[in-house]
Each structure stands twice: as structure tokens, then as C-alpha cells.
Chain A
């Protein structure tokens, strides 16, 4: 059994406080994790380098393979992230049930590696939602009406940016003409805001875990 150690996490998480960024719209519901990062890229044993293959099947006209030079591949000119006006976007606006499907954490890894810091959608799949927080990516839930309004604003105003304030739990336009509050679990907020390694936090309770485990395995020895 491992005692808490002073050594830091292997993959320190970038803290999230206030972020201002360009917004890109992905106007379809039920975007699944197979679409976010196709399976052939899951063969990697690393956490990084997935950004060039984010939304691979929509983004490129050919079939992507691990190790290919993505800079030389034909881009799909119609895919929203390929439009010049959304170059450098760091806030992704999406529709309901974003991130449904598999548990692959390669999906938030790819989104973060591409440069996204925050997502805005009416709802997310549970596992994906959870995975985002582990990677410094803030998935914001806003009501359908607010998301509809943001889709309209993004379409109407090239260069549309939003300010996301995690401590204040608000999404706002840069001129402050629109300020929308959002909910987030206090514990998740705390960890994300401070970039905390939650394994380190949990290991502070190693004695409690050990005592719980000893009692459980004594009462139900078939679990051993």
C-alpha cells in the first residue's frame, strides 16, 4: 500500500480561473467520443499529441492514421474548425449530450491539446463531463435558450469572444452586455481552480481508506 508521497503528479493540471477566448460553434447534438477522436489514435500510450486528430473524420477529407503528417492531409473546407474565422478558438459551443459514447479520456486530451479551455453545451455525457475536469477543461452547462442565443451571436459577429469566470461562475460577452451564471460542483470547482492533483488529495485520507478496507474485507472475505 502506498503512503502519500511528496512527489507531484506526473501530469500537472493547468489551473482554471478566468479565461477569455474566441468561440467556435459545433452545431449538432449527440457528438460522440468516436467523432471527437477516432479509435485508431487510441493506440498511443501517451497523453499528448491528440490535437491534430481532433474530429479527424470531419476535419480531413482522407482517412487519418497514427503517425501520418497531418499538415499534408487535405482539409475539409466545410468543417467549422477549418474556417479562418474560428482559427485560434479556445471555447467550443456545442449542443446537447456532447461527449456521449466511450470513456476514452483521449477525447478531452484531444480537445485540450487542440487549444480548447472551455466547452459550453446544454448537457454532456456523464463520463466525458467527469474526464474534462481531470484535464483542466471546463465543461459549462447552460440552458437551451442561452445556448441558442450564443449560436446566433457567434454566427452574427465574426471574432465573437466570451469571458469565462470560474470563481464567479459566469459566462459573459467581452462588453458585459450578456452575463449568464452557471452551476458547478464546489469540489470540482475547487480542484480545477487550483489545478489540484486529486490523487494527492485522496491519499491524505489513506488511513481512513485503509481502515474501511480492512473492515470490509474482514466482513466479506470473498471480496479479497
Chain B
């Protein structure tokens, strides 16, 4: 992130980005804070948290730029971006934008915002990147099928006791546990 030529700015950025890396919070404490955020969201707005809905709208926005007429032929996207609708004019886009900002600020403050590739010890960088990309495709495909991901369904739907959300939460963890052994080389 830093370039050597810009001296003044660099030293500031260096200070900003080279903070000593701090440890993550205790998981129970993190969970309580996350629960308070979720409660605040439901209490004030009636909506829970979400992430994959933001993905849909970013994609619809890009499609609208690249192939404007095409959206009107995709039944699944018409209701979010058909005709004159602006797919980004929606609360969930605000939430996901906030997630990016909040994650960035926290990473910065705790010295954890730095360019790196996180992977298991026994795979190459390329394998990790390819698997992350494929995992991303599969995950959001499943999230669209289930009408929500770990945030919108498992977390938010779970907290308000939706039966379907609990079924989805168990399906996610069940399938990940069942497959974990066979792909252990990726992580162990």
C-alpha cells in the first residue's frame, strides 16, 4: 500500500498501516457485541443483518452497466434492477458498504489491515486463490438458492426463531463438517 517516493504521506501511511498487530477479541465477547449490533438492527429497523443480498445488487448494477437490456430478461433480477430501478438504491447495499468500511477501520486500528494471503501450510498460493474463488461461487450460489446466507438466515433468522433459518444453519454446518475430512489438505 505504500510507495517510497511520497515521503510525507508515506510516513503517515506507514504509521497507519504498520501498527502492531493485536490479537482478536475473545470469541464470546465478539459474539455479545455482534448480538448487540443484530439486536439494534432488528429493534430500530425491523430488519436483520445481511450480506449476500448486497452481492446480488452489486452484480445487477454491473450487469446494468455492461448489458443494460439484459436484466429485463432475467426473471430473478427484474425485481431489483428491471427498467428504471437502481439496484444500489436499497438498504442492504448500505449495510454491505458499511461492513466494508467497518472491517477496514477495525483492521487498521488493530494492525490487521495488510496485504497477505492466508492459507493452510500445505498448499500453494495459486491453489488457495483458486479454491477461494471457487468457494465464493459455490457459496453465493447456495445463498441465493436459500434466500440468504450465514448472516441473513443463520444469524438474523436464527435469532428471531424462523424455522427455515434454523434448517439452513444446520445444513450449512452439517455439509461443511461432512466434507471437511476430504479436503483437509487445504487447511491442515
| A and B associate in one complex | no
User: A residues bordering B, Cβ < 8 Å?
Assistant: none
User: B residues bordering A, Cβ < 8 Å?
Assistant: none
